Structure 1
Amino acid sequence: MRITVLGATGGVGGEVVKQALERGWHVTAVVRDAAKLTLPAEVVVAGLHEHEKLAAAVEGRDAVLSAVGSRDRGPTTVCVDGARAALAAGAKRLLVVSASGMHTEGDGFFARKLVKPLLNTFLKHGWADMLAMEAVVTASDVDWTVVRPPMLLNGPRTGKVASRLDGNVRTFTIRRADVAAYLLDAVADPTLIRAKVSIAHG
């Protein structure tokens, strides 16, 4: 399998690169600073608006996985910019990491009425960016998958992941390593093409 990873030096993106290499896949990591990636992947140094470099990084790949995200809580467009960049570069199979936080389908009363309105006061800019990303991706004609995890934690992969297509999983955390493994498994899963799937620790 040949994949391109956007956001390859982030928490989830780094795990995607690491685990894909462990599977024997060919990985192209798109980064802004090559010094931040120590894994033996093919590295392309490019910003999200450098179309020619991104197109070369995407050409001939089986999938593009976008795990870009903002590191602060201010206004941002990094997620939607990443999705637009991947589509403009010619991605045919695109998987993006979003979040379950701004969605309430399947949530219990406590999460829907108390927890998420409170979180929205702190995370509204990031969530708005992810919603814009989801809109761009789902309006495209590629084979897309939107993966929506809850709060991300560090730690080794557990292999215990619950998923739902019709609403959120009623668990509030998941490890980044498990998100990465789910993304890699989803690349070749035909049931997840054009699907929005919520995942959490199972």
Structure 2
Amino acid sequence: MLKQGYSDPELYRYGGDTDKEWYVGFRFTCPVRMKRKPVQVRLGINFFKTARERDIEGKMVKKVVSKALEDGWNPFDCNIETYLNSIKPNEPTPPPAAIILKTPDGIPIATPDTPLAEALDLSYQIKKKYLKRKTKFNYETGLRYAVPAAKALGIDMIPLNRLKRLHVRMILEQIGKDRQESTTRKEKARPGRPMHSTGTNHI
């Protein structure tokens, strides 16, 4: 009978070639299913465009994968995103009701307990009147993708004081997937060229 185990996760970087999809890979053996398989984890590594940035991010992802495996993650049961989202930290004792601070315009200021999606919106509401047109457009575009991505991952309601860099990586990767799917849908919906008649019109 096969014994459960896994090889050491390694960062596959293709000699620094950023045109390729980098990932952290390892082999996992599941004794229940009597199978072993190679596993690839990206978690936003390829969002970064330079080899240096990907190296830094890849090392962080490698640590996350190693810790998840040590804690009992079985890739046959679920992907790492689902596993990480399933981990429920101990809920802290609720603090006393906090005073809600507001800007001079009356916009509430996010606190450490503010949910992620709400905090993103509040941040934009506070900054938007100071943003130049192009910066405002980029900010709005980011929000348009970031909030749905966080919701898709089930972390849109996570308080800011529990937000980790890992969550940001997950959101970035989800944004990449969502944008790719959006582009694919638009290409499929694009009407084809009109058919040209080969006959002669008669009056």
TM-score range, shorter chain: under 0.3
Greater fraction helix: 2
Q: TM-score, normalised by structure 2?
A: 0.26
Greater fraction strand: 1
